[in-house]
């Protein structure tokens, strides 16, 4: 009941304002909750946006990492927060996958959260530990087929884009490989570099450094075209036609957040994304900005929920 009272309070306040008046917002620091660990792409994006948003709105935008349970802990915290524009969620396609993958999650994405703005999209690198006897995607597929169930792959957690990338690869390649989830990309990456787990899909800019240092071997990238950051690597699709995997990021707020606040946030995020310096920085990080209106982002989320459901059913993906 407390949450319903919160949800009604903000719109009621708006109705009480004089005609044409705008609500005073923000009145205090704004939290950006990142339901993933430190150092991942979501964390980096949140910290990138926090400074210009604070400058634009005159209040600090504070990033809080709340990882765990496939991103549901931090997400549920935001869903149950007061819908007054002072709590935001930095989310990804982990959330659209979880709509199918985690039926017992304590929230429903499009019921309990409101779309605010899309941020960017990036593809992954497929890497292996140097001790693994595979130097290309065809060699990896042959190795996995020759030893079904013997090898593992790491991910940043159940339902994350890296997990989905691994499972769709498994299904399309017709191999048996075991998913080993970690609490975040840093933990999963450490496990691969140490040789604890031999295979991983991860962010291109991060793995580019590890490949250059010889800590991992890069086999391919997951976009429709070769990555300008790793042009020497083929795409997975060159060996498995039709394969593609990505991670995209966006902002949401608790359902019931006043539309004027959502629109102001959307406009400011889009302004930041459209700056030439932002585009250049994002491209250098292996990502492309994707500014959208609030309604376009809403439609994008609904389409992605359906697309993730199709992939999950096709690959028979589970949360384990």
How high is the mean pLDDT of the chain? 91
Place of tokens 């964390």: 43
- Determine the 3-state secondary structure of 86 from DSSP: coil
Residue 81 lies in a domain: yes
For residues 33 and 283, give the distance between their C-alpha atoms in angstroms, rounded to a whole number: 25
Q: Are 111 and 171 within one domain?
A: no
> CATH number for the domain including 35?
3.40.190.150
Total number of domains in the chain: 2
Domain span including residue 176: 123-238
pLDDT confidence of 235, banded at 50, 70, 90?
A: very high
Read off the pLDDT of each residue in 192-214 and give the average, rounded to a whole number.
95
pTM: 0.82
**Final residue of a structural domain among 238, 269, 300:** 238
State pLDDT tens for residues 39-48.
Answer: 878 999 999 9
Phi then psi for residue 40, to 5 deg, are: -80, 175
**Final residue of a structural domain among 210, 238, 266:** 238
**Final residue of a structural domain among 238, 265, 291:** 238
> CATH number for the domain including 223?
3.40.190.10
Handedness of CA 186, 155, 183, 122 (dihedral sign): positive
- Helix H, strand E, coil C: the string for 142-160 is HHHHHCCCCCEEEECCCCC
For residues 175 and 196, give the distance between their C-alpha atoms in angstroms, rounded to a whole number: 20
Packing angle between helix 161-173 and helix 294-315, nearest 10 degrees?
40
Residue 17 lies in a domain: no
Read off the pLDDT of each residue in 208-217 and give the average, rounded to a whole number.
96
Residue 320 lies in a domain: no
User: What percentage of the chain has pLDDT greater than the value 70?
Assistant: 92
């Amino acid at each position: 009941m407390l949450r319903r009272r919160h949800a009604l309070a903000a719109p009621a306040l708006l109705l009480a304002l004089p005609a044409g008046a705008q609500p005073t917002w923000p009145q205090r620091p704004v939290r950006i909750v990142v339901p993933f660990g430190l150092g991942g792409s979501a964390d980096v994006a949140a910290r990138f946006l926090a400074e210009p948003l604070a400058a634009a709105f005159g209040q600090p935008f504070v990033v809080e990492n709340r990882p765990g349970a496939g991103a549901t802990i931090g997400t549920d915290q935001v869903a149950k927060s007061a819908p007054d524009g002072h709590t935001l969620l930095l989310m990804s396609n982990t959330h659209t996958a979880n709509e199918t993958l985690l039926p017992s999650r304590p929230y429903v994405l499009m019921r309990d959260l409101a779309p605010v703005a899309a941020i960017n999209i990036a593809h992954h690198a497929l890497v292996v530990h140097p001790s693994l006897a595979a130097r290309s995607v065809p060699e990896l597929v042959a190795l996995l087929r020759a030893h079904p169930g013997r090898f593992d792959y790491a991910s940043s957690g159940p339902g994350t884009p890296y997990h989905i990338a691994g499972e769709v690869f498994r299904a399309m390649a017709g191999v048996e490989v075991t998913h080993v989830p970690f609490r975040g990309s840093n933990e999963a990456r450490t496990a691969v570099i140490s040789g604890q787990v031999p295979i991983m899909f991860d962010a291109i800019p991060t793995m580019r450094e590890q490949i250059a240092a010889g800590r991992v071997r890069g086999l391919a990238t997951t976009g429709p075209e070769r990555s300008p950051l790793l042009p020497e690597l083929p795409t997975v699709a060159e060996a498995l036609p039709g394969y593609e995997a990505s991670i995209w990021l966006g902002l949401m707020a608790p359902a019931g957040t006043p539309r004027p606040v959502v629109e102001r946030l959307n406009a400011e995020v889009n302004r930041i994304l459209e700056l030439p310096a932002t585009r250049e920085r994002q491209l250098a990080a292996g990502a492309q900005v994707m500014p959208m209106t609030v309604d376009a982002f809403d439609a994008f989320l609904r389409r992605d929920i359906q697309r993730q459901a199709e992939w999950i059913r096709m690959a028979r993906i589970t949360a384990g």
